[in-house]
Amino acid sequence: MQLSRQAGTQGGRGGGTDALVVRGVSHAYGARKALDGVGFSVSRGSFTALLGPNGAGKTTLFGLVTRLIGLRTGTIEICGLNLAGARAKALAPLGLVFQQPTLDLDLTVRQNLFYFAALRNMSRATAQKRIIEELTRLDMAERVDERVRNLNGGHRRRVELARALLHDPALLLLDEPTVGLDVESRRRIVAHVHDLAEERGLGVLWATHLIDEVLPHDDLVVLNRGRVVASGKAVEVAREVGEDDLDGAFARLTAPEAGGTAESGRAGAAEAWRA
């Protein structure tokens, strides 16, 4: 089943070019194909959920967009800059939250954020101001001089989110950012990022395998076995697949092609929900 939206043709709410355009991207690890002709776009001001089961290719796609993995086939454009031509410069409008925690545990929150600000060419004064602004929004300002080691998982994630927003990016990429968090922390982060997309006109690409993190009006790209199997508004994707909710649609879309059934896919989705 393929419900595809053409990549990179429309400007988003923020106007101008799309925040992210992925066209015909393939990648293989030896003989194993991780991505096969993937294409979609993320508009400015939109929250796009990249939904796929484990092993679908989400992290590989993030690796390619962030240049941690070399792009061989296809094109990726970030705010109109072609990754192949602009190379490292194309990463400038990008804010990132990785699946793995990436804060330095031995440094304080402030020291971690200052380090990142220096990498993004921000002056100390500007960085200081932005650090407090972003941490305040996430109710973390009072923890600014605490060592990261002393923070719990949810608070560390908030600091990582604050860091990703420090340089006012146009595109925010989050790779399963709620893994290991409790329900309340997850809910807060999901809501905050939705607000950011709306208020700041930020393009958001949120990779997840957790269906409850996708809202009906979100843009949705469903990735399965390295291919985009559906895309569009979440509610429309569900409707076009003939299901009442996204749970059922996801189960149907990710059911194993050979010998699999929607029921077995649904079981997988239920598993994802429990995870």
**Which parts of this chain interact with another protein (CB under 8 A)?**
29-30, 34, 54-60, 63, 66-70, 72, 87-92, 94, 96, 98, 100-104, 106-107, 111, 114-123
Q: Which is nearer to another protein, 213 or 243 (CB)?
A: 213
Amino acid, res. 145:
D
Which one-letter DSSP state was computed for residue 108? B
Q: Which is nearer to another protein, 241 or 272 (CB)?
A: 272
Q: Which residues pair with 203 in a beta bridge?
A: 171
Rounded least distance, CB 205 to another protein, Å: 14
Least distance in angstroms from the C-beta of 168 to another protein: 14
Q: CB of residue 60 vs another protein: minimum separation in angstroms?
A: 6
Q: How far is the CB of 147 from another protein (least distance, A)?
A: 8
Give 170's DSSP letter.
S
- 73: Cβ contacts below 8 Å, ≥ 6 apart: 24, 25, 26, 27
Q: Name which of 103 and 234 has its Cβ closer to another protein.
A: 103
92 or 262: CB nearest another protein: 92
At closest approach, how far in Å is the CB of 249 from another protein?
Answer: 22
H-state helical runs in 98-152: 109-119, 124-137
Q: For residues 50 and 138, which CB has a smaller minimum distance to another protein in the complex?
A: 50
* Residue 139 backbone class (left: φ over 0; alpha: ψ -120 to 50; beta: rest): left
In DSSP terms, 25 is beta-bridged to 38
Q: Which ranges in the chain belong to alpha helices (H)? A: 58-65, 83-86, 109-119, 124-137, 153-165, 183-200, 234-241, 246-253, 262-274
